[in-house]
Structure 1
Amino acid sequence: MTTAYYTHADCKRHEMGAWHPESPERLQAIEDQLIASRISTLLDHRDAPLAQETDLARVHSADAIYRIRENCPTERSEYQHFPLDADTSLNAHTWQASLRAAGAAIAATDAVIDAEIENAFCAVRPPGHHATRKESMGFCMFNNVAVAAKHALEVRGLQRVAIIDFDVHHGNGTEDIFRNDERVLMVSFFQHPYYPYSGTEQKAGNMVNVPVPAHSYGDVIRELVTQQWLPALQAFRPQMLFVSAGFDAHREDDMGQLGLVEADYAWLTRQIMSVARDYAQGRIVSCLEGGYNLSALARSVTAHLKVLADLE
């Protein structure tokens, strides 16, 4: 089995301040852990290309794209950061990093559909699942998974794709983009009530959003996946699976108050792979979302990749 690992140095150049938890050190921690775990050399390392604006425009409004492209400070600017909201800002490298993040997801999608690889993990930032059609928010610029899923549907001709989101926060941007799109099934769990305070009202028919209270542990998550996610995915019979892989539901991550551990992420990945093998020729593209405790993030991504690459 071939698992590709997409990333790019540009993704480390975007930063929102030394205080910010969505930091370049996240990618370095993952890379260090993969080396320490002796699986880095077993992955197919690939550089993320740049997405084109036409790729972004399938998902985002012209104003949303313009706001990122035109407001990045220059390296000589008086101000190092341009704020989009209270916790999301641009620096001189954000536009380039954002194009790499979306470009990785698109390139991985093409490589999987073309059977060059069976699956892929995109170690990219900025993350994406809070970015709506019209607005960047929640550390996210463009919705990388949504861009890739639209590419699979509208460029590569697939008819049904599924999006699995296991971040501690609800993927409000992905829901906004694909609400009532019968070609897409989105399944997720998320801590509730919690940012972005969405996902529980006016649910669209193609959304299986499962809110869980704070301090829920792996047994709760495994039960809801078994009882709610898997029957929906099996009935939908997706031709490809996309994963918004957030690891901030880990019990060591202070960003949320859920209680997952590495074994839970490995179990989740096995369920996703089972669906992919049954219905989608094994096709999976996974993209990094949250995860802010560096050690827990790195260990959890490694657990996820070991299953994707059949290295357990």
Structure 2
Amino acid sequence: MTTAFYTHADCKRHEMGSWHPECPERLQAIEDQLIASRIDSLLDYREAPAADEAELARVHSADAIYRIRENCPTASSEYTYFPLDADTSLNAYTWRASLRAAGAAVAATDAVIAGELDNAFCSVRPPGHHATPTDAMGFCMFNNVAIAAKHAMEVHGLKRVAIVDFDVHHGNGTEAAFSGDPRVLMVSFFQHPFYPYSGTGHPSHNMVNVPVPAHSYGDVVRQLVMDKWLPALHEHQPEMIFISAGFDAHREDDMGQMGLVEADYAWITRKIMDVAKTYAKGRIVSCLEGGYNMSALGRSVVAHIKVLAELE
């Protein structure tokens, strides 16, 4: 297996204040754990290119792109922020970081479809799954996974893709981008009731939203994957799978109140890989979303990547 690891130094330059949980140290924690686990040398490290605005515009409105591009403080204004909402802000490097985050997902999609790679993990920030076509929110600027999925369909001509979201929060932005689109199946679980307080109304037929209560553990999640996700994925027969890989449902992560551990993320990843091998030539692009306890995040990403790379 050839598994790529996409990242870029620009993704560490975006920050929203020393208090903010979505911080540059998240990416360093992942890199440190890859080294500690001795799998760093087994991955194909690739520098994320910058997405262009045409790629962003496949998902986001011109106004949404403009608000981020034009409101970033100047580079000379270090530690100056432009607030988009109560917990989402721009600094001088947010635009560049956001282009790298989306660009990683697009480049990984190109390389996997071309057969250069079996799959890829994009260790990037800002995360993306709360960003709707019209608004940045919830720490997210542009929806990296949605941009990559649109690229796969509109540039490469894929007819069916799937998006798997295992973040503790509902991927409202991704749902907004694809609700009612029969080419896209989205499967997710998320703690409920919880931010962004969505996903439980009357979702479109292509949305398999599975809300779970706080303090749900791995046995609950594994059962819902078997009962809800897998039947829908097998029926859809995706030609490629994209993963919104949030690790904040870990029991050590105070951002949520769920109880997953590394073994649960590895198990979920194996199930996704089985579907990808059956219908999609194994093609998977996974993009980092949440995960705010540094140790749990690093360990969980390692567990996820080990399965992607078939190292265990």
- TM-score when normalising by structure 1: 0.99
- 3-state SS, counterpart of residue 31 of structure 1: helix
User: Which letter does structure 2 place at the counterpart of 1:122?
Assistant: C
Per-residue deviation at 1:79? 6.7
Between the aligned partners of 2:13 and 2:265, the Cα distance in structure 1 is 28
- CA deviation vs aligned residue, 1:43-97 (integer Å, no higher than 9, x gap): 0000000000000000000000000000000022387100000000000000000
Gaps in structure 1 of 5+ consecutive residues: none
Question: Aligned partners of 1:154 and 1:263: how far apart in 2?
Answer: 36
State the aligned residue count: 312
Shift of 1:202: 1.8
What is the match of residue 238 of structure 2? 238
Map 1:11-160 → 2, pairs under 5 A: 11-77=11-77, 80-160=80-160
- Secondary structure of the residue that 1:223 maps to in structure 2? helix
1:198-237 equivalent positions in 2, closer than 5 A:
198-237=198-237
**How big is the alpha-carbon RMSD for the aligned residues of Structure 1 and Structure 2?**
0.7
1:170-224 CA-partner distances (Å, limit 9, x unpaired): 0000000000000000000000000000000021010000000000000000000
Task: Please state if 1:266 is matched with 2:279.
Answer: no
- After TM superposition, which residue ranges in structure 1, 4 or more long, deviate above 4 angstroms? none
2:300 aligned with 1:306? no
Q: Is the Cα–Cα contact under 8 Å of residues 17 and 79 in structure 2 kept in the other structure?
A: no
CA displacement, residues 4-52 of structure 1 (integer Å, 9 cap, x when unaligned): 0000000000000000000000000000000000000000000000000
Checking the alignment, whether the CA contact within 8 Å between 2:30 and 2:297 is kept in structure 1 is yes
Whole-angstrom distance in 2 between the partners of 1:22 and 1:145: 18
CA distance in 1 between partners of 2:105 and 2:277 (Å): 20
Structure 2 matches for 1:251-290, cutoff 5 A? Answer: 251-290=251-290
Distance apart, 1:157 and its partner CA? 0.5
Mapped contact 2:78–2:92 kept (Cα < 8 A): no
Alpha-carbon distance in structure 2 between the residues aligned to 1:79 and 1:185:
40
Partners of 1:92 and 1:214 in 2: how far apart?
37
Output the CA distance in 1 between the equivalents of 2:203 and 2:122: 29
Whether the aligned pair in 1 keeps the contact of 2:11 and 2:97 (CA below 8 Å) is yes
1:263 is paired with a residue whose SS is helix
Equivalent residue for 1:4? 4
State the AA in 1 paired with 2:250: H
In structure 1, what is the Cα distance between the partners aligned to 2:230 and 2:78?
52
**Alpha-carbon separation, structure 1, partners of 2:254 and 2:46:** 31
Distance, in Å, in 1 between the alignment partners of 2:306 and 2:206 is 30
Task: Give me the whole-angstrom Cα distance separating, in 1, the residues matched to 2:274 and 2:97.
Answer: 32
Assess if the C-alpha contact under 8 Å between 1:161 and 1:238 holds in 2: yes
Alpha-carbon distance change, 250 to 68 in structure 1, aligned in 2, over 3 angstroms: same
Q: Does 2:182 match 1:189?
A: no
Percent identical pairs in the alignment equals 79
Q: Deviations over 1:203-262 (max 9, x none)?
A: 101000000000000000000000000000000000000000000000000000000000
Q: Distance in 2 between matches of 1:142 and 1:82?
A: 16
Q: Write the letter of the residue equivalent to 1:246.
A: G
Is the 1:73–1:79 Cα contact (8 Å) retained in structure 2?
no
Which letter maps to 2:17? G
* Aligned counterparts of 2:241 and 2:77: Cα–Cα separation in 1: 41
CA offset digits 1:82-116 (Å, max 9, x no partner):
00000000000000000000000000000000000
